[in-house]
Amino acid sequence: MSAVDQATPVLDVRNVSKTFISGEHRVKALESVSLKVMRGQCLAVVGESGSGKSTLANLLLGIHQPTTGDLYLDGNLLPGHRTLPLRRMIQLVQQNPLSSLNPRRTVGASLRLALDVHDIGDRQGRKERVGALLEEVGLPSDFAARYPAALSGGQRQRVAVARALACEPEIVVLDEPTSALDVLVQARVLRMLDELRRRRDLTYVFITHDLGVVRNIADRVAVFEKGKLVEESDTETIFINPENPYTRRLISAIPIVSDEEETLRRSLMEETNDS
């Protein structure tokens, strides 16, 4: 990899806005947002419903087109209509693994689809690759013959991650990937995601409302409120010295289990009351 590559952000969102028009109503879902994500980083996109974080994800994935502004991948402008190789680069892991896997197709068939569409490997090679992908996300390779109904929530989400990886993407958009899971399962899946990123040098756009998760997995944090990017900085700074009152409110709303966290939270709340 050349020095230029290192300096170019893998994803560059330049002054992007998105307005939805339904009848008389014009809804500004996203207003002049600019963001850069470097290769191998995990950017957390934080906000609540109506913050615009899902709209941003849809723009990155090419499901919607920005009303104004441009998206750049590896320094190249992403066109409105994306070719297959471009689509491959940005993949998605959805929130609800029950809905994101086809209940009437086997795990193997779901994984094979990505390999078939992008013509990765030959016939025999693909079968082996499906097994290898399953093992990479911590599942036995014979799960390929199973249907989603025979898997637990955590296992389904691992399959969804394997399917995203099957495309060999550069960027993975993770849309609340663990919020439907129990806490123990969530911790295991998060750990797996973190290891995968390091091993494959992946870039994550991690969409979530849970700042506790963000604290432990993200390098940078972008906080959205009502379609606007209200704060963006590295994770440490956000938690030690959040500038925006909305960021503070989000932090103080996280369920906590230790006195240490309580102390941190109280200090944040006092600052809010002072200002």
Partner 1 sequence: MKRTFLILASNPMSLIGLILIGVVVFSAVFADFIAPFPEHRGAVVDFTNFNQPPHWPNIFGTDLVGRDLFSRILYAYRISLMLGVVVLAIAVPIGVTIGLAAGYLGGWVDFVLMRLTDVFLSIPPLVLAMAIMGVLEPTLTNGMLAVTAMWWPWYARLVYNVTRSEAQEGYVLAAQIIGASRLHIMFMEILPNCVPSVVTKMTLDLGFVILIASSLSFLGLGVQAPTPDLGSMVAEGGNYLPDSWWLTVFPSLAILIAVFGFNLVGDALRQVLGSDQ
Partner 2 sequence: MTALLDIRDLTLSFRGFEGENRVLHGISLNVARGEKVALVGESGSGKSVTARIILGLLQEQRSTRVSGAVEFDGRDLEAMPAKARHRLRGTDISMIFQDPTSSLNPVYPIDVQFHEVLKRRDPKITRAAARERASEALRDVSIEDAKRVLDSYSFQLSGGMNQRVMIAMALANEPKLLIADEPGTALDVTVQAQTLHLMRDLVERKHTSVLFISHNLGVVREFADRVYVIYKGNIVEEGPTHALFSDPGHAYTRALMAAVPKITGGGIPEIPDRSESFSEPIVVHPATEASS
Cβ at position 272, least distance to partner 2 in Å: 13
Q: Which is nearer to partner 2, 105 or 266 (CB)?
A: 266
Residue 207, strand partner residues: 45, 175
Residue 243 DSSP SS3: coil
Q: Which is nearer to partner 2, 120 or 254 (CB)?
A: 254
Distance (Å, whole) CA 28 – CA 175: 21
Residue from 102, 152, 263, 267 touching partner 1 (CB under 8 A): that is: 102
Please name the amino acid found at residue 237. T
Interaction mask 41-80, partner 1, x per CB under 8 A = --------------------x-x-----------------
52: phi > 0 → left, psi -120 to 50 → alpha, else beta; which? Answer: left
Write the DSSP symbol of residue 8: S
DSSP assignment of 157-202 equals HHHHHHHHHHT--SEEEEESTTTTS-HHHHHHHHHHHHHHHHHHT-
Tokens of 207: 């969409």
Cβ at position 148, least distance to partner 2 in Å: 16
Q: Which is nearer to partner 2, 87 or 200 (CB)?
A: 200
Given partner 2, partner 1, none, residue 275, with its beta carbon under 5 to 8 Å by kind, binds: none
Answer yes or no whether residue 103 interacts with partner 1 by CB under 8 A. Answer: yes
Number of residues forming the site for partner 1 (CB under 8 A): 24
Residue 57's nearest CA partner among 197, 176, 228, 210 is 176
Interaction mask 235-274, partner 1, x per CB under 8 A = ----------------------------------------
Residue 205 DSSP SS3: strand
Distance (Å, whole) CA 79 – CA 59: 11
Q: Do residues 227 and 51 make contact, with C-beta atoms less than 8 angstroms apart?
A: yes
Residue 229's nearest CA partner among 61, 14, 41, 76 is 14
Given partner 2, partner 1, none, residue 96, with its beta carbon under 5 to 8 Å by kind, binds: partner 1
Among the candidate windows 26-34, 46-54, 87-95, 181-189, which touches partner 1 by CB under 8 A? 87-95
Residue from 29, 42, 45, 92 touching partner 1 (CB under 8 A): that is: 92
Given partner 1, partner 2, none, residue 117, with its beta carbon under 5 to 8 Å by kind, binds: partner 1
Q: Which is nearer to partner 1, 114 or 214 (CB)?
A: 114
Answer yes or no whether residue 94 interacts with partner 1 by CB under 8 A. Answer: yes
- Dihedral angle over CA of 90, 94, 100, 106, nearest 10: 60
What is the contact surface with partner 2 in residues (CB under 8 A)? 48-49, 153, 182-188, 190-191, 194, 209-213, 215-217, 239, 249-261, 264-265
Sites of contact with partner 1 (CB under 8 A): 61, 63, 84, 87-88, 91-92, 94, 96, 99-105, 110, 113-114, 117-118, 160, 163, 167
